[in-house]
Structure 1
């Protein structure tokens, strides 16, 4: 099988899919709260006496609609929260000038790094289009604060070993051994607290011909070999 490297994958029409997070809002039937199982701003309300701003990093944030809605609430309620969204396409909605606690970044997650730790890191359906899904999960876990929370949509069926056989059960077990959790019903991988995650797999490349996954949208299969 001819697999794509990161540069080739980022030019793929599947990765350029505009349907997933372009119109997703913060709350409601098509909201982040429905996908994650909680309102992100509830995680970011700091205990009294906390000196630093709370931080939310959203990976593969699409147009940034949900983050812009969250930034309006942060501004109106006077919450001490910094929000950062990162997306490859950079097709962001306009941000109001007074939303100075929101930063939207056009970048490839293969080489982007944050300049602070985050209390919440989310990735709503973004991993479906990432090549090395396991590496991004590991990096995100290392960007958390000591008690921060990372939550991301993950379809185990899009993880394959070199001979194209499914890798899902083995990955779920490896994630648990590394201190993460996988909710099979909600298809969410999560991590509580900053961790150094070292999974025993070597990334080989990606296949953008995988077809639709459980979302109904075309996704990317990621191929690995035992390390």
Structure 2
């Protein structure tokens, strides 16, 4: 298996990772939307945070929402338009990051929105965020656990992280799914793992160190539960030294 695994540079050139059918046209709300996939409307969550009375509102310039693997940014553009319409765009900063520079045109009034073409495995944000989302993006990332660890460190003190995570796509060197032991390790690191909904969340930042070493990724894993081709990530488990 190891001779089939790709490093991050090779993986990011894969046609599977550049898949335009997944998360490219997703809306803010409705049938094909962030609200449906995440189980909550992220813009409504952000606006509620903006309107919290002191001292709940942190003493900083804006409330921040970071969306990893944002696709065309359509959902974020819709959110920025609503913020501008309601006069809230000076209170919120929305940052979208995607590997492919295939963003929808950004209107002049979308002052709250910043779209960045970069790899989420190496990109670092200029600030912490109140909300971090990743809708189906982890399916196409090689070192999924590293991204989870990095995202945890980018949250504000009571910030929220929410993403889709298919644990079947995280495998050990012999091909077996990491399974329950990985789910337990994630929970012990402060994440909430919903295996039925294939969702992972957390509240508040953390210095996450998971007991796995990344080996590489397989872009020939085939379709996952979404029906779209996805990427399987391979790790070796780090066993604690016994005295």
With the length of structure 2 as denominator, give the TM-score of the two structures: 0.92
Show the counterpart of 1:63.
72
1:94-109 aligned at under 5 Å gives the runs: 94-109=105-120
Aligned mate of 2:53, from 34, 48, 57: 48
Aligned mate of 1:84, from 84, 90, 95: 95
Deviations 1:156-208 (A, max 9, x none): 11000001011121111100111111111211111100111110000000000
* Dislocated runs of 4+, deviation >6 Å: none
- Larger strand percent: 1
SS of the residue corresponding to residue 57 of structure 1 reads: strand
SS of the residue corresponding to residue 170 of structure 1 reads: helix
Aligned mate of 1:30, from 29, 32, 36: 32
State how far apart, in whole Å, the 1-side matches of 2:43 and 2:194 are.
22
Show the counterpart of 1:153.
164
Choose 164-173 or 111-120, whichever is displaced more. 164-173
Show the counterpart of 2:228.
217
SS of the residue corresponding to residue 209 of structure 1 reads: coil
Which structure has the larger Rg? 2
State how far apart, in whole Å, the 2-side matches of 1:123 and 1:139 are.
13
SS of the residue corresponding to residue 134 of structure 1 reads: helix
- What is the aligned residue count? 227
Q: Which runs of 5+ in 2 are unaligned?
A: 239-243
State how far apart, in whole Å, the 2-side matches of 1:219 and 1:168 are.
18
Choose 41-50 or 122-131, whichever is displaced more. 41-50
Aligned mate of 1:113, from 100, 120, 124: 124
State how far apart, in whole Å, the 2-side matches of 1:199 and 1:183 are.
18
- What CA RMSD, in Å, does the superposition of the two structures yield over aligned residues? 0.9
State how far apart, in whole Å, the 1-side matches of 2:41 and 2:25 are.
17
State how far apart, in whole Å, the 1-side matches of 2:23 and 2:159 are.
23
Q: Which runs of 5+ in 1 are unaligned?
A: none
